[in-house]
Amino acid sequence: VKAHEYYERTKELKGRTSTARLNDAGKAAAKNVKENLTTERKGIVEAEKQAKDSKIEAKKAEIQNKIDAIRKRLEGMTAKSKSLVREKIQKEIDGLREENNAFRLELNEGFKQTRTNLKTEYDNKYASELEQIRNNPAFKKVNKGRGRKRKY
């Protein structure tokens, strides 16, 4: 009995959601709410992902244009002047690539954080909606009382 009481107390703390005490209409309503919230969340996550990807592609194109401009500068030089500035230009190109990688990491971390925040937010929304469904008497399972046993 104590173990069951402990489980009942802690399952609320852990955010477990159960539809066990709901009738079929209540279970359908809970499923519908969850599907709607999941679809909405996935749409937002997909939009965020597309925005992140487009920013990454724009930055990548910008960096590539800078690298191409540096390479064109090299093409116009003589062999002697190329050898003098080759290291400097290589460091400049490496710096641009590192800048691009840092930008990507920053965007990816921001996206992960956004996705985590959305999941938490939508889990909380689902829990509150499920609580409203549980509190609605129309969705509660009817308890079939056990009558007294008959002796034959």
Q: Which residues contact 44 (CB under 8 A, 6 or more apart)?
A: 118
105, 57 in Cβ contact below 8 A? Answer: no
Q: Write the DSSP symbol of residue 92.
A: H
Segment 63-114, tens digit of pLDDT: 999 989 988 888 878 888 888 888 888 899 899 999 999 999 999 999 999 9
pLDDT at 16: 62
Segment 106-143, tens digit of pLDDT: 999 999 999 999 999 999 999 899 989 988 888 888 77
pLDDT at 12: 65
Q: CA 6 to CA 38: how far, in whole Å?
A: 31
